[in-house]
């Protein structure tokens, strides 16, 4: 097998875990790329598996590095929540023989293309989590118009709009009050940020449509994708989001399901620590 060994070396333990894993991978095959700074362009390389150390942010960067040649990713969580990177380093070592034998499931997930204005014209970026059109300064608001397949849907005043994939639904969108979507669902969710009327609610719609956000009034508006600043926006600027022609692939080992991850990370179903009797003494 051919491997990418990637990670965010700003996270504690990443270098140590990479040093522990690399000999195991080299005995099983070839490490085509070893990049803990996540600076290498991987789009021209071929591999069978990408092992990413760090957290969900490291996986987002790895997806950008791979571009339109996505390699299945196995994420190892050395960060915080880790909805995508849901294995611990010890769990990875324990299940590595199973992974090398191909006894895993690979899931496919929606990616997006964001087309946005630049000083020189327009540019397109590939992403996995979300696009956010937002005010750059606290206290400033933006007036935005949402369009779907060319039809005006709403004129929105507030701090911004989030257009999220199902994978990104447990990130910024969830914090803004959006729903949790099943990760393999072919849909986008549009979540308002601090709307200036209580009638606005998150909207879930099909992935095959084209979504546009037009800036009708801006006091310092900007656009970001997967947490990366793309640029400032002016009145009349349009940001367009559509389904990408490539999917993100995630390796799932036996015994780890999405619902288990939700229970673990969001503490769903954790029994409350009720005290039924007064403490002794």
Catalytic residues: 56
First to last CA, the chain: 63
Which residue blocks in the chain are alpha helix, DSSP H? 14-28, 56-66, 89-100, 172-175, 258-266
C-beta separation of 132 from 161 below 8 A: yes
Distance CA 58, CA 52 (A): 7
Token code pair at residue 52: 């990413």
Token code pair at residue 86: 């849901």
Distance CA 264, CA 243 (A): 30
C-beta separation of 133 from 172 below 8 A: no
CA dihedral 12, 17, 18, 20 (to 10 degrees): 150
């Amino acid at each position: 097998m051919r491997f990418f060994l990637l990670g965010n070396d700003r996270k504690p333990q990443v270098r140590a875990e990479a040093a522990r894993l690399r000999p195991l991978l080299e005995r099983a095959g070839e490490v085509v790329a070893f990049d803990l700074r996540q600076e290498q362009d991987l789009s021209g390389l071929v591999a069978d598996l990408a092992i990413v150390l760090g957290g969900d942010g490291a996986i987002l960067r790895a997806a950008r590095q791979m571009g339109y040649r996505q390699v299945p990713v196995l994420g190892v969580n050395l960060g915080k929540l880790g909805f995508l990177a849901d294995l611990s380093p010890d769990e990875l070592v324990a299940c590595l023989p199973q992974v090398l034998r191909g006894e895993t499931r690979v899931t496919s997930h929606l990616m997006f293309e964001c087309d946005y204005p630049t000083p020189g014209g327009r540019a397109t970026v590939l992403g996995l989590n979300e696009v956010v059109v937002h005010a750059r300064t606290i206290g400033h608001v933006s007036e935005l118009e949402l369009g779907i397949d060319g039809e005006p849907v709403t004129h929105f005043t507030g701090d911004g709009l989030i257009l999220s994939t199902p994978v990104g639904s447990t990130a910024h969108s969830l914090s803004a009050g959006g729903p949790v979507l099943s990760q393999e669902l072919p849909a986008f969710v549009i979540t308002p940020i601090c709307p200036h009327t209580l009638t606005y609610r998150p909207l879930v719609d099909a992935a095959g449509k084209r979504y546009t956000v037009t800036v009708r009034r801006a006091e310092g508006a900007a656009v970001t994708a997967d947490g990366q600043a793309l640029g400032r926006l002016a009145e009349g600027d349009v940001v367009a989001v559509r389904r990408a022609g490539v999917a993100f692939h995630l390796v799932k080992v036996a015994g780890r399901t999405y619902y288990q991850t939700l229970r673990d990370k969001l503490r769903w179903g954790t029994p409350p620590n009720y005290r039924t009797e007064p403490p002794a003494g």
